[in-house]
Amino acid sequence: MGSELYDTTTGTVLWGLANPGWLGKAWTTRKGLRPLHLTEDERSGKTGRVKARRLLRTPAWSPFLRGIEPYHELLTTIRHSVAHQDAILPFAYDWRLPVATNALELATAARDHLEQWRRHPAHAAARKHRVDEREGRLVFIAHSMGGLLTQAALALGPDGDLAADTRGVMTLGTPFQGAVMAAAILNTGQGAPLPLPHGKLRTLASTMPGVHDLLPRFPCLDEGLTVRRLAPADVADLGGDKDLAVQSQAFHDRLRGHALPGHRAVVGVSQRTLQSMTLEDGVVTGFEHAFREHTDGELMRDAHGVPRRFPVGGDGTVHKESAARTRTVIPLALQHGALATGDAAMEAVTSFLEEDEHLGPDQAASGLGLTVPDFVTPGTTWEIQVTGTDDPAGITCTVTGTDGGFTKPARLYADEDDALTARIQVPDAGLYRVTVEADGPTPLTQLVLAGPEEDDSDEE
């Protein structure tokens, strides 16, 4: 959801306005997200109504996914490491559509961009400073779903030479094996009351191939003495679309086994992250532990034959083992959105682009985790939890409005073993950023949306 979407038929921006007030209207009014729903024409492949004009320029928010930070810090970092700003191509895409559809556009855009850069005067000058005066090649820096697009563009795109013309790929929190969070989004509210924004996301997500491409493909469905992968029938049972699940499974089957050239993964750690689930009577219950298999595909079990549980952790959205395709990873204690903004992540990007010897950046907040609600009500007390320590010394927590109109410190106190808690209220509806600072170069951050309580008369 990091790209601004524009409706070509109405001339309106559907996602990504500069005014923070648009978020509240999008998530708490009846028609706020309706134009984002895929039409029958779009599902059949007739796209073009919605265009991705550019990357987000202001923070955004979604239930479950919480904060969606803009990419200006990432772009600024990259500009400092290239020969000329024309060497950079920001690639926005319609994230509602299948990964495969967007990957074809990425492959075409990457080839055109490389050919244009190789004809650029700055390219000729830069070659004189490279070993053997080598020609410029592609480097992909991809956050979240963007890593899946990159993998598909290089492996399945029409340009068979694109991978050979790629020096490296850095992924930031990419769910290569999917995320249980996607199943939770599609299942939101099944058998339970829910805030209005969560119901609106479920309604939207059920029409989106892009969400189905993010469903978990590792053994995550806990059935007691067995743990298995989700099948299309399970996706339909939990509230998704069976046909979209079948199409997504076929896409990932084609993608399996295709390695990324020069791949280095930045992986979020230490954050509470859904890693497995149960599915009973159509209701998903998520858990913060994973299961592992031996090399022969058999589950690891204890002495009593019960599947072993491993609290792997992750970035709050993607668990560590899904984001790490190989053992060459950079672990950072950051939330999913901050993996494309934090200082430590930016150091990793700079090192990768400049081809310096890679020793890994300093980690953020030394193993601290941050947990906050994704949606709160103004004037109502809610909790911030910092995990990984029970000592508040040297740790500060602040809540600020993204519009700059509100700042308030939150006092942390020891609430349980290896955790700190703060309780706070915000006065008005809007988007707020929780920041936790400790020893280390990069603070932990997460976005929280404040809005009115559920209004049954306003549901879609």
Q: Which of 33, 39, 36, 75 is nearest to 54 (CA)?
A: 75
Residue 245 tokens read as: 């699940």
Q: What is the pLDDT along the chain (460 residues), one digit of tens a residue?
A: 999 999 999 999 999 987 767 888 888 887 888 999 999 999 889 999 999 999 998 888 888 887 788 999 999 999 999 999 999 999 999 999 999 999 999 999 999 999 999 999 999 999 888 888 889 999 999 999 999 999 999 999 999 999 999 999 999 999 999 999 999 999 986 655 667 788 888 889 999 999 999 999 999 999 999 999 999 999 999 999 999 999 999 999 999 989 999 999 999 999 999 999 999 999 999 999 999 999 888 999 999 999 999 999 999 999 999 999 887 799 999 999 889 988 889 999 998 998 643 444 444 445 789 999 989 999 999 999 998 888 888 899 999 999 888 999 999 988 777 789 999 999 999 999 999 988 766 788 999 999 987 654 444 4
For tokens 């556009």, name the residue.
105
Q: Which of these, 209, 114, 208, lies nearest to 154 by C-alpha position?
A: 114
Please name the residues in contact with 440: beta carbons below 8 A apart, sequence gap of 6 or more: 344, 362, 363, 364, 365, 366
- pTM for the model stands at 0.86
pLDDT of 19 reads 72
All structural domains of the chain: 74-86+99-363 (no CATH), 369-450 (2.60.40.10)
pLDDT of residue 390: 84
433 dihedral zone (left: phi>0; alpha: psi -120 to 50; beta) = beta
CB atoms within 10 A of CB 90: 11
Distances (CA, A) of 302 to 305, 309, 310, 318: 5, 9, 12, 26
pLDDT at 363: 46
pLDDT of residue 271: 95
Contact 412, 381 (CB under 8 A): no
